Amino acid sequence: MTNSDAKVWLITGSSSGFGRSLVEAVLKHGDYVVATARKPEQLDDLAQQYPETIHPVRLDVTNLQDVQAAVESALDQYDHIDVLVNNAGYPAMGAIEELSDDDIRRQFETNFFGALSMIRAVLPTMREQRSGHILNISSFAGVVSLSGLGIYSATKFALEGASEALAQEVKPLGIKVTLIEPGAFRTNGAGSSMVTPKHPITDYAETSGKMIDVMRLSHGNQPGDPAKAAAAMIQVVESDDPPMRLALGEDSANGIVQKLDAMKAELEAWKPLSISTAFE
């Protein structure tokens, strides 16, 4: 049983980064958390501090049996799920040609198909409740793709496209969807979590190679504070009229505006050719 005024959150990738910061913030906020991770023992300190309101669960989002078991465990523990946060993911950095087929497929399995599996597993209970909020952790790179980020961006672009449609499908059922688009935050994304090419190609040293160097050099010095990102996500969930998209960080907000302005200018410049393709 739960306090009827408190929400139940199911958060993937809870052991580090945004996930860990969000779990801590939600617990301090007074809500319940089903905190999932491949190594839930990394949450033992929080389980000791909040024994009544945290429920750690082992979960690999690429394993469909794990996904279903995690949702069932959440429902057994708390009877319902109010918020799903698809946070589990990591960046694969490198030129399109440099990354191996295995690297590319693993990136999609975690960042996109893992999130999709969680959404599909949670939707039946949210539809029955006629309520719920799904937060999909996208990225600045889910709107703006840069050299060296092609495959990572592709997974986030896919998540953005699916989320846009999902929001329209579930709105009449009382379910909300928000894409979170962080810029550079002080997580481990540019550290040990980052996957890079096993066999770099020298022709890409000045493009994707430089981007990898920039990411590595920025590690530990990124401007974004994960604790403040977590507070922003709670504010979104508490809102009666949450946004479809929330950019986090000045770099993300400004970069997305620049991308949209450039797209609009190009569309207008080529509009005569665009509309010349209809039958006479």
For helices 150-170 and 101-108, what crossing angle results, to 10°? Answer: 20
State in Å, rounded, how far the first CA of the chain is from the last one: 67
Which of 32, 78, 152, 204 is the catalytic position? 152
- Per the annotation, the verdict on 138 as an active-site residue is yes
Catalytic residue chosen out of the listed positions 156, 163, 208, 252: 156
156 in catalytic set = yes
Q: Which residue in the list 16, 73, 138, 163 is annotated as catalytic?
A: 138
Packing angle between helix 17-29 and helix 226-238, nearest 10 degrees? Answer: 50
Residue 19, both tokens: 């996930």
Residues classed as catalytic: 138, 152, 156
